[in-house]
Structures are given as C-alpha cells and as structure tokens.
Amino acid sequence: MLRTATAIAVTLLGTLAPATAYAEPPAPPPLTVEIQESDMAGRVLATLDGMTLYTYDAEANGTVVCVDTCADLHPPFAYHDGDPLALPPGLIGTLGTVPRPDGSLQVTYDGFPMYTSAYDSQPGDAFGADLHWQVAEPHDAPQSD
C-alpha cells in the first residue's frame, strides 16, 4: 500500500510540475541581397538569384539617371511593395529605395541605386563593371576582439 501511495504521489507531482517551454528564436527576416563570391570581382552583393549588383558613379547623390537605353543594359534592381529590406548578417550599411522617373522604386545600398547587368549571364559574372560602373561591394561590420 505504501508503494502504491508513493507511486501515485510521484505521478501527481510529475503532472503538477511546471513544464519548461523552450521558445524557438524568431526567424530572421528574408534577405534582399546575398553575398556572392565572384571569380571575376571577388566578394560582391548579389540578387537572391546570385546575379552581381552594380552601382553607377553618376548616381553618387542617390538620384537615378540611368534610364532608357542605359536601363536596358543595366536593369534596375526593383523594389516591390512589401519586400523586405534586409542585409545578410555581419554586414553594415543601409538598404533603402529611391523612386525612378517611371514611378517604380529601386533598391539602394548606402544611398546608391543598384542594378544588374545585361552583360552577365550567370551567377558570379561581373562583365557589367567598367570605368563608371562598380560592383556593389559589401561592407563588413568591424570585428570586436
């Protein structure tokens, strides 16, 4: 009888003990860009499809001037309403948007509008870089010792 009472008490204590819940950490927001290792240009920012992103020197003030034929050769990295604006972990800088003359929005990195290139056909290509077009280089956060 004592053994049965002890078993019942242990069972009851087990059901009365608070359950320890381990909450899963929240999922990070979906990324807007990724880091791509390019044989041609080194470490670059890229679309989520791996296509190299570029900035245009003439747009240093953040005003879009690449339109018409220029935009045919360097398609704007478009922003769609509701898309996240998130950098990969460990990068610093700011993703934002800038209005284009046609009313659409374009993604920026540290104020520079970003583009892909019609010259690139596969991830890692960087044929769009030239005297006035630069690959968008990621800025790493400083390492703390």
Alpha carbons 47 and 128: distance in angstroms, whole number: 14
CA 131 to chain centre: 26
pLDDT the model gives residue 23 = 74
pLDDT the model gives residue 143 = 59
CA 18 to chain centre: 40
Alpha carbons 56 and 64: distance in angstroms, whole number: 9
Per-position pLDDT tens, the chain of length 145: 545 444 444 444 455 545 556 777 766 667 899 999 999 999 999 999 999 999 999 998 889 999 999 999 999 999 988 888 999 988 999 999 999 999 999 999 999 999 999 999 999 999 999 999 999 999 886 655 5
